[in-house]
A = this chain, B = another copy of it.
Amino acid sequence: MSTTEPTPDADLLQRLAALAVHAGANVQPGQFVSISAQVGGHEPLARAIAGAAYAAGARFVDVAWFDPLVKRERLLHSADEDLDVVPPWLGDRIETLGRERAANISLTGQVRPGVFADIDPARVGRDQLPALKQTAEVINRRELNWTVVPAPSVGWAQQVFPGLDPAEALRRLEADIRVVCRLDEPDPVAAWRARSDELQANAERLNARRLDAIRLEGPGTSLTVGLLPSSRFIAAGMDTVGGITHQANVPTEEVFTTPDPARVDGVVRATKPLTLGGTTVDGIEVEFRGGEVVRLDATTGADVMRRWIERDPGARRLGELALVDGDGRVGQTGTVFHETLLDENAASHIALGSAYLMCLDDEADHPRANRSAIHVDFMVGSRDVAAIGIAADGTETPLLVQGAWQ
């Protein structure tokens, strides 16, 4: 038996690695660096990032490898009652990374899409690894300078371009990644600084309106999302407690905030599929009442997603509202990437589960933010979905119409 596997473009990997280390996590000399990567496709980029991080002065680079095929063995053979077991050392490692003020770089893009498609979704939904509840805690304490970057692989490329042969699909995915990550700019790190300033200015204009709620209106969607008194929109440029500026996503085209988890009402239809622990969930429709999900339907993967939102009470409430305009590179490609990192930057989105405390200006609001072990973004925006601002007195103002800020 033999397999013939095309390999990623070495020059692209070097440029992506530099972006992850410098524009993304902004690795500092003497830092521990953790890379989260999947076995069976992320290896070349993980190694390039390790090299770039050491060259930037990293003290040690540790890769947290996740193998979807080992998880598959669990889903096939483990006892039912053990499927939500998480061994203690996985969470302890995240806590230690936080205490050590480490950098964290996560690679995304499923290397084996559909690998759990033939397994009972009730079992699939119970094993939420490699997601760990400690991650949200450490991020909310702003202990890590972190980023998420896309890792081109043959598996992912064939999911995005199913009609093409593997080598051609990989080339197409790489070309799209080059565009959305602005690697076609003469100085991609500088290009991201400029775009980040632009996004920050958009966020500040929104914050100046002192909105009480935002309504999304479009085909199949009419959802009102209440905001907390000190909710403010921010862009993915962030600072750690120690003052390290980092860009949490590469690419990033969003401004986002923490909503009031008790005031979300209406119905929302997803505009892109979502990949949840290896399962594709498509055609999502969710109804909220008093902040809580009262109905969740989907054309595929509904049972897996229902399991995720049964995890804890906060898993049924909103932790994030993000607005994305039509100026970003992701939307312009027209590609559905089947990957939250990219698809969420093509369209406005909401997330069920844990909230980002850095989006609340007043610590008095922190106890009101949503808490959960999960954070699941899904895309609800498109050119046909308008975002309307609602002031405390009920006055409505259009914010985004046809993808343009008003």
Contact = CB atoms under 8 A, between A and B. Distances in A.
Interface of A: 1-7, 32, 39-40, 43, 46-47, 50-51, 54-55, 57-63, 65, 67, 69-70, 72-74, 76-79, 82, 85-90, 92-93, 96-97, 100, 167
Closest 10 CB pairs of A and B: A54-B77, A65-B65, A51-B73, A50-B73, A89-B93, A54-B78, A89-B96, A55-B77, A50-B70, A60-B85
B62 A87 contact: yes
Nearest to A46: B70
Given A74-B50, A77-B51, A59 B85 contact: yes
A3 B1 contact: no
Contacts of A69: 43, 47
Contacts of A32: 87
Given A39-B39, A82-B59, A2 B167 contact: yes
A5 B6 CA distance: 12
A60 B87 contact: yes
Contacts of A87: 32, 60, 62, 96, 100
Contacts of A7: 1-3
Given A43-B69, A54-B77, A60-B86, 5 more contacts: A2-B167, A39-B43, A47-B72, A62-B90, A65-B67
A263 to B, nearest CB: 39
Contacts of A76: 51, 54
A2 B171 CA distance: 13
A70 to B, nearest CB: 5
Contacts of A43: 39-40, 67, 69
A1 B87 CA distance: 40
A76 B65 CA distance: 21
A82 to B, nearest CB: 5
| Of listed A39, A40, A43, A70, residue having the most chain B CB within 10 A | A70
Nearest to A47: B69
Contact of A4 (B3, B46, B67, B77): B3
A2 B154 CA distance: 12
Contacts of A89: 62, 89, 92-93, 96-97
Given A5-B2, A89-B89, A63 B74 contact: no
16 contacts: A2-B5, A2-B6, A39-B65, A47-B70, A51-B73, A54-B74, A59-B85, A60-B78, A60-B85, A61-B70, A63-B70, A65-B67, A87-B96, A88-B96, A89-B93, A92-B92
A58 B74 CA distance: 9
A40 to B, nearest CB: 7
